[in-house]
Structure 1
């Protein structure tokens, strides 16, 4: 946690945290609104491959898990509608199979 009096450390701490999220979970942190300090997590292909589909190819699912768990944490351990809103922003819909994650209701 970066406190107000240590705010000058925030850019470096944020950069390092963003880099770790990308390397470990395959998600990029992107700025949505600089004034309001709003960011979004965007899944990237590649480094976090941890799910096997039937043809033996691996697919990154850790990034989806990170987003869902983060939303649950931010919403006080209960975030059903908020999770779907965030997933919709990422192009993941309950009625449509996603090209990376498959059926999101079964992930």
Structure 2
């Protein structure tokens, strides 16, 4: 976390985080709108995803995968309950099909 008073460190921290995402998860962080600071994650490993949104710019299941893998990494390679808590906060439940992600048990 970069605090406001240490904001001059943000570009380097963001660069390192982006590099880690690419190395660990195979996704690039791409700038969409510099002024609004909007970014998107783009898979670089050639992974297929059947969850493309109609505009073709986002891959919901890939982003869900990044969330799950990130939780596993942060929790020391074992995060079953923590993953479901995070997914529940995103409106994803094991017993209910999600309007974007579909059945989370099949993602």
Relative to the length of structure 2, the TM-score reads 0.53
Mark the runs of 5 or more structure 2 residues left unpaired by the alignment: none
Q: What residue number does 1:106 align with? A: 106
Residue aligning to 2:37: 37
Does 1:23 pair with 2:23? yes
Offset at residue 10 of structure 1 (A): 2.6
Deviation at 1:42, TM superposition (A): 15
Q: Structure 1: 5+ residue runs without aligned partners?
A: none
Tell me how large the CA RMSD over aligned residues is.
8.2
Q: Offset of 1:104 from its aligned partner?
A: 0.4
Question: Are the structure 2 counterparts of residues 98 and 37 from structure 1 closer, same or farther at C-alpha, using a change threshold of 3 Å?
Answer: same
Cα displacement (A) at 1:105: 1.0
Change (3 A) 1:9 1:53: closer
Report if aligned partners of 1:26, 1:60 keep a CA contact under 8 Å in 2: no
